[in-house]
């Protein structure tokens, strides 16, 4: 406890042992420092934008990415420094993305319909002439399978976390992931 | 061709099977080329996913974000905002308060420029004799407690770096840094005292936050002069 009678905030440290500059900038941004927030934006926009593009389509990516940073600015007061700023931002980004999906009305059936779409993918491994860019193949996955694949294999979340975020049973998350992988294995570069 | 294990192969490569399941599956893999091939492919898919690169947007999104959060990308943003605020609310400041703020900011700016020049011309290393141990409670009223702790921790961290690098820096460099830090601390203390009488004063809060930021910037620049051992 410090002189203010408050617990000590935990700052993430880089391997050098120096303070994470993101935490400092987040502190300044929370007090209204837009230039500090711009630094946070510059540091994190590639990862956030990649997440948006892979979970939504390209048409919405710019707008949704902007929404995420605007929401982050509004919610900076809830960032307590207990995790890295990037982790906090990433979770917030996923919430914004999922909310966008809800608003588009595409959420409800995609886990069911997705199975049918997956069945339409080639049952046998294609030859080299059918090889396609891995990113493009991901975009062809049904929404539900793509979300789980991106969150698990690209972003590194666990099934329990994904199930909680997406409102699924853990078993559903696992089966969606397996189906996504089975579809994508046909598009590996040979 | 599918068998009873095909649907479990992702769980296998993710190490999510029980020990008994894993042993049984590995025994199966000894005799099933189809499943063995799939396991290899699944691992390649996972490796490929981990190799995906981050993707920057084709266009800079910041101007749009800055507009939506009420910030102007240009450095004149704060001036504009303050002018708007003054139209809404009438402030009263003592001349000593304004003079102190002006002098402090000039010194800080001059110090920063001087430091930049020193760094470019001569890669010296800094050390401070008396790193301020007690970071004053310098948090504007608009800053939440956890933010104040983060700020204090950041300042303490940078001060520690400077203290550890002491002795490697030119004495003149050290003196200038100390003088500027002292001026900033005085400006911070002045702003804090003024805020005690008028905690809702937006200008004072903004000035205090800006002065704190300048202290952090100066410490960062000074710490950057310390060579990494």
Which of A11-15, A69-73, B94-98 has maximum average pLDDT?
A69-73
Q: Which residues contact B129 (CB under 8 A, 6 or more apart)?
A: B166, B174, B178
Q: Following DSSP, what letter does each residue of chain A receive, concatenated?
A: --TTS-PPPPPPB-TTSPBPHHHHHHHHHHTT-HHHHHHHHHHHHHHHHHHHHHHS-HHHHHHHHHHHHHHHHHHGGG--SSS-HHHHHHHHHHHHHHHHHHHHT-STTHHHHHHHHHHTS-SS---GGG---HHHHHHHS-HHHHHHHIIIIIT---HHHHHHHHT--HHHHHHHHHHHHHHHGGGS--
A154 interaction partners in chain B (CB closer than 8 Å): 49-50, 52
**Which chain B residue's Cα is nearest to A178?**
B10
List the end-to-end C-alpha distance of chain A, in Å, as a whole number. 58
Do A114 and A98 belong together in one domain? no
pLDDT in tens, B160-213: 877 877 777 877 777 778 877 887 888 888 878 887 777 766 677 777 777 887
Rounded to an integer, what distance in angstroms lies between the CA atom of residue A38 and that of residue A29?
9
Residue of B nearest to A39 (CA): B62
From A86-90, B2-6, B117-121, the region with the lowest mean pLDDT: B117-121
Q: Pick the closest to residue A30 from B99, B146, B187, B193 (CA basis).
A: B146
Residues A63, A119: one domain? no
Backbone angles phi, psi at A63, to 5 degrees: -65, -45
CB contact under 8 A, B153 and A46: no
What region does B115 belong to: left with phi over 0, alpha with psi -120 to 50, or beta? alpha
Q: Which of A94-98, A148-152, B195-199 has the lowest mean pLDDT?
A: B195-199
User: Tokens 């966008």 — which residue?
Assistant: A100
**Residue A13's beta-bridge partner residues?**
A19
CATH of the domain at A136: 1.10.10.10
Q: What is the mean pLDDT of residues B70-77?
A: 57
Across the interface, whether the CB atoms of B57 and A2 are under 8 A apart is answered: no
Please indicate, yes or no, whether residues A121 and A81 belong to a single structural domain of this protein: no
Residue B45 pLDDT exceeds 60: yes
Contact A185 B44 (CB under 8 A): yes
| Residue A6: predicted pLDDT | 30
Tell me the C-alpha distance between B8 and A177, whole Å: 11
A50: domain CATH number is 1.10.1740.10
Search chain B and give the residue with CA nearest A10. Answer: B150
Distance from CA of B86 to the nearest CA of A (A): 17
On whether residue A1 sits in a domain, the answer given is: no
Q: Are residues A94 and A117 in the same domain?
A: no
Which is more confidently placed, B100 or A33? A33
Residues A77 and A116 in one domain: no
Domain membership flag for residue A3: no
Number of domains into which chain A is organized = 2
A68 located within any domain: yes
In the predicted model, is pLDDT for residue A27 greater than 90? no
Domain boundary among A63, A89, A104: A104
**B interface test, pick of A20, A26, A135, A153 with most B CB neighbours within 10 Å:** A153
**Which comes out higher in pLDDT, residue A66 or B128?**
A66
Query: Cβ of B52 and A134 within 8 Å?
Result: yes
What's the gap in Å between the CA of A47 and the closest CA on chain B?
A: 5
Q: From residue A47, give the alpha-carbon distance in Å to each of A54, A121, A154, B193.
A: 11, 29, 11, 43
How distant is the Cα of A150 from the closest Cα of chain B, in angstroms? 8
Q: Report the pLDDT value the prediction gives residue B62, as an integer from 0 to 100.
A: 95
Q: Which residues in chain B have their CB less than 8 angstroms from residue A46's CB? A: 54-56
Preferred mutation among B49, B54, B145 to probe A, highest tally of A CBs within 10 A: B49
List CB contacts (< 8 A) between B38 and chain A: 182, 185
The pTM for the full model equals 0.57
Residue B146: pLDDT band by 50, 70, 90 thresholds?
low
Residue B67 CB: number of other CB atoms within 10 A?
Answer: 13
More confident residue, A74 or B202: A74
Q: What angle do CA B188, B189, B190 make, to 5 degrees?
A: 90
Nearest C-alpha in A relative to B13 = A178
Nearest CB neighbour to B150, from listed A24, A42, A69: A24
Residue with more model confidence, A19 or A1? A19
Pick the last residue of a domain from A42, A76, A104: A104
Handedness of CA A93, A99, A102, A104 (dihedral sign): negative
- Is A128 contained in some domain? yes
Whether A9 and B146 lie within 8 Å, measured CB to CB: yes
Domain carrying residue A154: 110-187
The size of the A-B interface in CB pairs under 8 A is 155
Q: Using only C-alpha atoms, what is the Rg of chain B?
A: 29
Taking Cα atoms as reference points, which of A77, A84, A92, A75 lies closest to residue A10?
A84
């Amino acid at each position: 406890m410090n002189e203010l009678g408050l617990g000590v905030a935990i700052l993430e440290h880089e391997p050098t042992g120096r303070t994470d500059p993101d935490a400092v900038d987040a502190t300044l941004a929370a007090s209204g420092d837009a230039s500090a927030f711009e630094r946070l934006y510059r540091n994190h926009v590639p990862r956030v934008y990649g997440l948006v593009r892979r979970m939504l389509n390209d048409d919405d990516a710019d707008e949704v990415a902007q929404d995420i940073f605007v929401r982050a600015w509004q919610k900076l007061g809830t960032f307590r420094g207990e995790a890295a700023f990037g982790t906090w931002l990433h979770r917030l980004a996923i919430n914004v993305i999922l909310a966008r999906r809800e608003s588009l009305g595409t959420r409800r059936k995609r886990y069911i319909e997705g199975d049918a779409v997956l069945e339409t993918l080639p049952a046998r491994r294609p030859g080299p002439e059918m090889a396609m860019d891995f990113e493009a193949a991901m975009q062809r996955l049904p929404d539900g399978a793509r979300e789980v694949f991106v969150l698990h294999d690209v972003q590194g979340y666990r099934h329990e976390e994904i199930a909680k975020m997406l409102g699924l049973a853990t078993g559903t998350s696992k089966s969606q992931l397996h189906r996504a992988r089975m579809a994508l294995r046909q598009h590996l570069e040979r | 061709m599918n068998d009873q294990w095909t649907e479990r192969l992702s769980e296998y490569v993710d190490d999510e099977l029980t020990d008994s399941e894993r042993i049984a599956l590995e025994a199966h893999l000894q005799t099933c080329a189809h499943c063995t091939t799939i396991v290899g492919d699944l691992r390649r898919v996972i490796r490929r996913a981990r190799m995906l690169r981050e993707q920057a947007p084709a266009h800079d999104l910041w101007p749009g974000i800055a507009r939506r959060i009420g910030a102007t990308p240009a450095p004149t943003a704060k001036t504009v905002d303050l002018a708007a605020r003054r139209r809404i609310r009438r402030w009263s400041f003592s001349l000593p308060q304004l003079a102190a703020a002006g002098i402090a900011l000039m010194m800080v700016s001059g110090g920063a420029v001087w430091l930049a020049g020193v760094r470019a011309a001569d890669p010296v290393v800094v050390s401070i004799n008396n790193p301020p141990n007690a970071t004053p409670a310098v948090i504007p009223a608009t800053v939440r407690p956890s933010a104040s702790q983060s700020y204090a921790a950041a300042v303490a961290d940078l001060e520690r770096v400077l203290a550890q690098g002491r002795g490697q820096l030119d004495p003149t460099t050290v003196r200038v840094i100390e003088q500027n830090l002292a001026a900033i601390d005085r400006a911070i203390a002045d702003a804090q005292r003024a805020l005690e009488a008028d905690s809702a004063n937006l200008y004072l809060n903004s000035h205090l936050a800006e002065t704190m930021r300048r202290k952090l910037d100066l410490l960062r620049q000074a710490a950057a002069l310390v060579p990494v051992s």
